[in-house]
Structure 1
Amino acid sequence: MHAPRGQRDPRNWPSPDRSANRRWCPSTSTTPSWTVRRGLRHWVEEFTREWGLGTTAVEWIVEADDCPQHVLDQITGLRESGWRVGVVTNGLTLTQGAVLEHTGLVRYLYGWCISEEVDVRKPDPGIFALAAELCGSDLTAVWMCGDSPMPTSSAPGRAGLYTIWIRHGRTWPAFMPQPGRTVDSITEALQALLRLCSPVSSG
């Protein structure tokens, strides 16, 4: 997420240019819901295998994987305040694109970067530079919110990003550099960003 710069009025910010993303992520108005759902399921199956979760987790995640309206409202608030909001994710283009469509996030983002599409994965800092470019920005004054310690710690630090770790009740690994901030949920993370006047504000 890119912080607003200087005194620039956020109402004058240009509308997101998603043309680069749209070549692989079709509009929900032309994509059958079963296609989006199938792509989501494929991603969940990959995720649960990678983390050693049981098969029952697949159905639970598929049914639960909606973005709450209050989170979408917070993202809207960030954009109205001048922030440029994007997503960086590892995975297959088809499946991760389906997740973005299923959650409705594509209508709220300036851009998104999927590892298969750009041939680079987190925690490589290069993927964050590409995501910033898709959002029409650069890595100046960028905050990254994430719930996985490795990408939240190593990549953003090398790329010069500010970080917020969403801990979900967990403890940060003692051997890893501490994140810039720690919160308990995505709601708290977005609230923290909304309170920032600049990326180096204290709080």
Structure 2
Amino acid sequence: MNQTPHIETPPPQTGARAPIRLGSQVLTCLVFCLIAAPIIWFTRPEPLTIFSRPAGPLTQLLVGQVLALIAALVSWLLFKLTASSASSARTVESYARLDLRGLNPLWISIAAAIGEEVLFRAALQPLLGVWIVSLLFLLTHVPVYRFRKLDGAAIAQAASVFAGSVVLGFVFEYVGLIASILVHAWIDIVGLLIVRHAIQTRA
């Protein structure tokens, strides 16, 4: 009989800590895009081509969708393999603060993918390179994951965030921004659906 791995997740938080609403995620996306816009405009020789290079938009959509589905599958398999680990439990705990009702995982993922890819990949990566931008990407996610101490679980979480950013950086560099947004969105969609399932299973 096939059994779903048990994940130790904390009970829903009540009182002082309210769930993070969809609106705040959309607002963060807009802020990231507003920060990125002048950087892109003043540092790129042809800023209006950010969605059409290095590959054309249609190629980016096709290749990006294939890469996104592969990335989503890998993300799901990695979670299944590490479902009982402390790092997975902490990741679920971190993202359980989001309001994941209804279609919110979809909208949150799209907002995060657009905002973060436009800022980190389109605006900053041409200036700083894949590795430094991935380090910055990791640092901005420290409050999300709430690393309490530098133990094995924290290192595993940090390594996965950094590696994911590196992959997205190379997708952006060799395929394009549309492709990296698609890959990012699918990884987040799968991840948030896993988190929601874990919370429901716990409940």
With structure 2 as the length reference, what TM-score do the two structures score?
0.32
With structure 1 as the length reference, what TM-score do the two structures score?
0.32
More strand by share: 1
More helix by share: 2
Q: Using CA pairs below 8 Å that are at least 6 residues apart, which structure has the higher relative contact order? A: 2
